[in-house]
Structure 1
Amino acid sequence: MLTTPDPTDQLRAALRRPGNGSSDFDLNPDFALPEGRKLRPAGVLVPISVADGAPRLILTKRSSALKHHPGQIAFPGGKQDNGDADVTATALREAREEIGLPQEMPEILGHLPTHETVTSFTVTPVVAILREPFQPVPEPGEVAEVFSVPLAHVLNPANYIVESRRWRGQRRYYFTVPFGPYYIWGATARILRGLAARINE
């Protein structure tokens, strides 16, 4: 586990370790994917603030009015636009739009392996350190809340639980890593579980 207030070195080492990507189907090997589906690139920012003491991971709660994944906990991010230079640019742009994070503030440490979602995206998680405090500005209509959780909580594999629910007539299993009133699950929890595994290797 992390032993110093600044996790930069441990995170850089973890990101350099080889490993495969993840998917929404990791715990559901019998799930049948649609034929001919096309994956679209997306980028999400994994912003870790070290500005106020113990490192904290910044997350969002999506608006309940959204068509896709309403009310779910998510990283700032979204699909790659034609004007984005790469998925890192996508993640930074989306973080500026969704939570008001200045694009020059994050110190990019690297990328986690891609995560394939059930909604046909190939998501690249971009891990970044925030050394200065900032006041989040949630995007009206998209983000209901911006909050943070202790980084140590999501980097502890013991805090992850496998749960399940019925989805499209099948039982689907997925990781969760609850914290207080926040039910972190699905792709967000799976990506964080992969980071936790790397940190604890």
Structure 2
Amino acid sequence: MQSPEDLKKMLRRCIENAATSTSDFDLNPSVVLPEGRILKPAAVLIAVTENGQLILTKRAAHLKHHPGQIAFAGGRRDDTDRDLTHTALREAEEEIGLNPRSATVLGQLPYHDTITNYSITPIVAIVPSDLTFKPEPGEVEEAFTVPLRHVLTLANYRIEGRHWRGQKRYYYTVPYGPYYIWGATARILRAMAEAVVE
């Protein structure tokens, strides 16, 4: 197992090497986006514990958007947020009870452009290993961890597809146990995996 310091170094390499933004459309170049499309700013927290576990959430089944999907803690930037790091930490506190003071922010990855017109900035942070999650039942069904090594291994990714608005849409998946990680979450994680330099 890596030491916390080695883990920080690896994550900083990911941040430094992830040079370009990602998109829900990376595998679907034929999708025509509407003119004048405006992206809403948002942020997610890529929280990694000191013993190398990635914290993810399963969204509540009753939500209007993306019910039951696996996601990072995060959401849309509020007017009162100081910056997007503040957005990610605030949302993580609201959704899973993560104390912002317990997070050591290492930096951010390039933004991810979503099909739902959000520009998501992933904020990378190290958090203690002994956290107790407090999922907000209105938004989060479950908070859980996945070994960071699993999502940083390119061989664990697959490309799958389904019909959406009359055409086949392709996306990355990186399943783990009972958790089907796909879409924007998997694409952001794959960008990290591509940026790892051993």
* Structure 2 Cα separation of the partners of residues 191 and 126 of structure 1: 11
The root-mean-square deviation of aligned C-alpha atoms, in Å, is 1.2
Equivalence for 2:189: 192
* Structure 2 Cα separation of the partners of residues 168 and 152 of structure 1: 35
Deviation (angstroms), 1:124:
0.2
Equivalence for 1:48: 48
Equivalence for 1:39: 39
Which amino acid in 2 is paired with 1:187?
Answer: A
Percent identity among equivalent residues? Answer: 56
Deviation (angstroms), 1:195:
0.3
Which amino acid in 2 is paired with 1:133?
Answer: D
Conserved in 2, the CA contact under 8 Å of 1:12 and 1:110?
A: yes
Conserved in 1, the CA contact under 8 Å of 2:15 and 2:108?
A: yes
> SS where residue 190 of structure 2 aligns?
helix
TM-score after normalising by structure 2: 0.96
Matched positions, count = 196
Per-residue CA distance 1:170-195 (angstroms, 9 max, x = gap)? 10000000000000000000000000
Range moving further from structure 2, 130-139 or 96-105: 130-139
Of the three residues 82, 92, 96, the one matched with 1:99 is 96
2:128 paired with 1:150: no
TM-score after normalising by structure 1: 0.94
Which amino acid in 1 is paired with 2:173?
Answer: T
Per-residue CA distance 1:47-106 (angstroms, 9 max, x = gap)? 0011xx4x1000000001000000000000000000001110000000000000001111
* Structure 1 Cα separation of the partners of residues 63 and 11 of structure 2: 33
Which amino acid in 2 is paired with 1:192?
Answer: L
* Structure 2 Cα separation of the partners of residues 4 and 140 of structure 1: 34
2:2 paired with 1:4: yes
Deviation (angstroms), 1:18:
5.3
* Structure 1 Cα separation of the partners of residues 18 and 31 of structure 2: 26
* Structure 2 Cα separation of the partners of residues 189 and 155 of structure 1: 11
Equivalence for 1:178: 175
Structure 1's consecutive aligned runs of 4 or more residues displaced over 3 angstroms after TM superposition are none
Equivalence for 1:108: 105
Equivalence for 2:158: 161
